[in-house]
Amino acid sequence: MKRVLVIGGGAAGLMSAISASEAGASVTVLEAGEQAGKKVLATGNGKCNFTNRNMAEECFRSKNPEKARQILSRFGAEETIVFFRELGIAVRDRNGYLYPRSEQAASVRAALISRAEELGVRFLYNQKVKELCLGKKGIQAVTANGRHLTDAAILATGGKAAPKTGSDGSGLMMAEALGHLVIPPVPALVQLTASGFPFSKVSGVRAQARVTIKTGREVLAGDTGEVQLTDYGLSGIPVFQVSRFAAEALADRRDVEAALDFFPEMTKEELALEYRLRRERHPGWNSASFLNGLLPDKLAAALLSGAGISKKDTWEEIPDKKLQRLADESKELTVKITGTKGFDAAQVTAGGVALDEIDEKTCGSRILPGLYFAGEILDVDGICGGYNLQWAWTTGYLAGRAAAGEMEIHQ
Ligand SMILES: Cc1cc2nc3c(=O)[nH]c(=O)nc-3n(C[C@H](O)[C@H](O)[C@H](O)COP(=O)(O)OP(=O)(O)OC[C@H]3O[C@@H](n4cnc5c(N)ncnc54)[C@H](O)[C@@H]3O)c2cc1C
């Protein structure tokens, strides 16, 4: 019977262990922490958005998107739904975003662990792997307590995001030491810190907006939705979705800006006209109320002040130039992105083990036979919506089956 060692007991590690065991291997999971699946408990605000019915290519980001696509085509959302149904997890579908019917992430984790235990998977906790090396009799995983010899090892140690859940980047260092190229990891699905706007005055405001991330004239990414303005800068789903592009550009020491459009439904010209017509409607009203009903109060006050509009003026006293400036800033408020809230706050890691040296059918290493990768350790990050867990299920399934000897690596 083939021995398979899974290093890391997160979503990808648990799926790898089940998959390898179902394919007939004798499986041991070495987990650095005291429990498996800790991060799964935190997913989807404790509800676990475990996949999505829309599996469009642009939902996944990688330096090698074609390889990511090939890997994902082998075990997608439908296979994931069937897999979890078999484990007793029914689906709650929220516009294509899939959750367990219980809406409890704990039920997903419990089902995975129960299935692994039923198959006879051995879990060893508090076993942080420090090194992987190739010996005469197979691969050796070195921990503080000793060495574990195995026929195949699956590295499923996650990236660097949310290190409280155990993912401290040690797997990336091991992969690098074995000769794998690691795309420098940066935080993704994370809040952005910003300057150039009185953020402390608008803290707590939520507004519909389009966020565009730019470096110089180059547009890196954009997304529309509910943006949250905070005392440090920007948060909310659309900010999360574009954050990895800002983080990458900042890591390259480029200047990064975000342009916020608070009226994405109209052009700059249409908004300028709307403002002019508005001014005529109630000439005697106080300018402080000019954006009343259009934008949240605190944001309106900051934009009016930014356009130089005096609180003492009436609507009719707002000069054309200032009204135009207000329209411009309402459509394209540009702030400087100074950083991210870091890996502690990030939901996922962008970057990781490059896919170029990974076999698309098996997630096996083309450098070290017998070594496989699964989950966030690889250079693929998904947008919000169940895509990162789908990546963990897909790669865990493929790596597990292959490590057990069911599939061959194509060198
Ligand atoms: C707050 C939050 C919410 C999220 N919500 C969602 C969501 O709703 N939907 C979604 O798709 N994605 C979500 N994600 C992302 C998703 O959870 C991760 O991408 C996914 O869980 C990664 O799984 P993984 O197994 O690759 O890594 P991890 O879950 O990080 O697991 C890695 C495991 O390896 C162990 N380990 C690390 N180093 C070693 C070592 N050297 N030796 C032994 N063990 C080691 C760690 O202790 C850990 O248990 C969320 C993430 C966070 C932080």
- Give a three-class secondary structure readout of 164-213: HHCCCCHHHHHHHHCCCCEEEEEEECCCEEEECCCHHHHCCCEEEEEEEE
- Mapped onto helix, strand or coil, the DSSP state of residue 277 is helix
Distance of alpha carbon 165 from alpha carbon 330, whole angstroms: 40
pLDDT in the model for residue 407: 66
Cα of 154 from ligand 1 centre, angstroms: 15
Cα of 347 from ligand 1 centre, angstroms: 9
DSSP state of 278: H
User: Is the beta carbon of 187 within 6 A of some atom in ligand 1?
Assistant: no
Torsions phi, psi for 97 (to 5 deg): -85, 120
**Residue from 18, 40, 43, 150 whose mutation best tests the ligand 1 pocket (most atoms within 8 A of CB):** 43
Q: Which atom of ligand 1 is nearest to the CA of 389?
A: 11
Torsions phi, psi for 150 (to 5 deg): -150, 160
Q: Which atom of ligand 1 is nearest to the CA of 170?
A: 41
Q: Which atom of ligand 1 is nearest to the CA of 11?
A: 25
Cα of 265 from ligand 1 centre, angstroms: 37
Cα of 297 from ligand 1 centre, angstroms: 39
Distance of alpha carbon 145 from alpha carbon 142, whole angstroms: 8
Q: Do residues 167 and 375 make contact, with C-beta atoms less than 8 angstroms apart?
A: no
Residues in the chain: 411
Distance of alpha carbon 390 from alpha carbon 351, whole angstroms: 17
Cα of 367 from ligand 1 centre, angstroms: 25
Regarding beta strands 122-124 and 26-30, do their DSSP bridges make them parallel or antiparallel, or are they unpaired?
Answer: parallel
Cα of 150 from ligand 1 centre, angstroms: 24
Give the residues of the chain that fall short of pLDDT 50.
409-411
pLDDT in the model for residue 408: 56
Cα of 362 from ligand 1 centre, angstroms: 21
Q: Which residue has the tokens 């005392």?
A: 231
User: Is the beta carbon of 170 within 6 A of some atom in ligand 1?
Assistant: yes
Cα of 296 from ligand 1 centre, angstroms: 37
User: Is the beta carbon of 396 within 6 A of some atom in ligand 1?
Assistant: no
**Residue from 103, 176, 240, 388 whose mutation best tests the ligand 1 pocket (most atoms within 8 A of CB):** 388
Cα of 344 from ligand 1 centre, angstroms: 13
User: Is the beta carbon of 158 within 6 A of some atom in ligand 1?
Assistant: yes
User: Is the beta carbon of 401 within 6 A of some atom in ligand 1?
Assistant: no
pLDDT in the model for residue 261: 98
- Residues 6 or more apart in contact with residue 269 via CB below 8 angstroms: none
CA triple 382-388-391, angle to 5 deg:
100
DSSP state of 230: -
User: Is the beta carbon of 156 within 6 A of some atom in ligand 1?
Assistant: yes
pLDDT in the model for residue 134: 86
User: Is the beta carbon of 37 within 6 A of some atom in ligand 1?
Assistant: no
Distance of alpha carbon 214 from alpha carbon 217, whole angstroms: 7
User: Is the beta carbon of 11 within 6 A of some atom in ligand 1?
Assistant: yes
- Residues 6 or more apart in contact with residue 36 via CB below 8 angstroms: 9, 10, 13, 14, 29, 109, 112, 113, 123, 125
- What is each CA distance from 410 to 355, 393, 395, in whole angstroms? 14, 22, 16
